[in-house]
């Protein structure tokens, strides 16, 4: 990555912690980095929020989705997904997958590809962590139901095997209710980001890391605020 983005970085408000009101809307973060060299890195991270929103809409939990990177029509499944996330004409037939898992697998591999091309160490570490957590949770759920976890795993070659993944899932399994399990996952992800985000480097990787923390803070605030309700994380 070339140069340092002093102006863009100093223009971002300081984040508090999980549970605190986010200091910036996600759409405003996108506007802040618009047409800069870090815009794509931020978009790649915030695409997760659109994918989560799409799932919620298709489950009937959201009536009027407000997309960040996708169009509203794409979130509502009324228009083709972005090119990077579209299914190939012929899907691999070795392991049958649910459509949502196949989509998340394509997303993970796209993030890895962007990380390689943009030399973003953070993006590559972050997606491997997220894939590792997702796959570990899928394995725990499948085993609890006495199912084979293999069909529920995504992009297994990217899955992180760092000890923090196993520790987080163990804590999640020990949670006594939905709200507690949600908080465990939020705080576990937050801790990982605090350890791995670049601090005061003013390099490009600061921006996708900031986006990941801000999105996580918004996710937690939706639950922590009055009337909030925990959903699967």
* Domain residue extents for the chain: 6-83+98-224
> For residue 135, what pLDDT is reported?
96
Percent of the chain with pLDDT over 90: 69
Which residues, other chains included, contact 68 with Cβ-Cβ below 8 Å and sequence gap of 6+? 26, 27, 30, 46, 47, 49, 50
Please state, in angstroms and as integers, the Cα–Cα distance from residue 117 to each residue in 8, 86, 113, 114, 149, following that order.
Answer: 22, 20, 6, 5, 32
Q: How much is the mean pLDDT over the chain?
A: 88
- Alpha carbon distance 216, 221 (integer Å): 9
pLDDT band at 93 (very low <50, low <70, confident <90, very high): low
Given a cut of 70, is residue 137 above it in pLDDT?
A: yes
- Confidence band, pLDDT 50/70/90 cuts, at residue 3: low
- What count of other Cβ atoms lies within 10 Å of the Cβ of residue 59? 9
Residue 14 has pLDDT above 80, yes or no: yes
- Only one residue has tokens 């970085």, namely 9
Query: Rounded mean pLDDT of 210-219?
Result: 95
Quote the pLDDT of residue 95: 61
Closest by alpha carbon to 120, among 209, 212, 49, 215? 209
pTM of the model: 0.89
Give the lowest-confidence range in 44-53, 118-127, 173-182.
173-182
8 Å CB contact between 22 and 218? yes
Q: What is the Cα–Cα distance from 174 to 193, expressed in whole angstroms?
A: 22
Which pair of structure tokens corresponds to residue 165?
A: 């993944």
**H helix runs in the chain, sequence order:** 6-10, 26-33, 39-58, 72-75, 99-117, 121-144, 163-174, 178-196, 206-224
- Complete DSSP assignment for 176-198: SSHHHHHHHHHHHHHHHHHHHS-
């Amino acid at each position: 990555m070339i140069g340092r983005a002093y102006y863009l970085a100093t223009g971002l408000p300081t984040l508090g912690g999980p549970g605190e009101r986010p200091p910036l809307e996600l759409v405003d973060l996108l506007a802040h980095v618009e047409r800069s060299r870090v815009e794509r890195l931020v978009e790649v991270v915030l695409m997760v929020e659109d994918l989560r929103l799409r799932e919620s809409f298709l489950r009937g939990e959201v009536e009027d989705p407000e997309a960040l990177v996708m169009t509203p029509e794409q979130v509502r499944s009324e228009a083709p997904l972005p090119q990077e996330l579209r299914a190939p004409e012929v899907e691999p037939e070795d392991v049958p997958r649910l459509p949502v898992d196949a989509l998340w697998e394509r997303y993970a591999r796209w993030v890895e590809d962007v990380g390689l091309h943009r030399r973003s160490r953070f993006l590559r570490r972050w997606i491997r962590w997220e894939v590792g957590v997702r796959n570990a949770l899928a394995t725990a759920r499948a085993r609890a139901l006495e199912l084979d976890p293999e069909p529920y795993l995504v992009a297994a070659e990217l899955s992180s095997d760092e000890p923090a993944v196993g520790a987080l899932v163990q804590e999640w399994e020990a949670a006594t209710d939905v709200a507690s399990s949600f908080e465990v996952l939020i705080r576990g992800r937050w801790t990982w980001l605090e350890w791995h985000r670049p601090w005061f480097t003013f390099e490009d990787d600061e921006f996708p890391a900031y986006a990941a923390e801000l999105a996580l803070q918004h996710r937690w605030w939706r639950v922590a605020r009055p009337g909030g309700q925990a959903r699967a994380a």
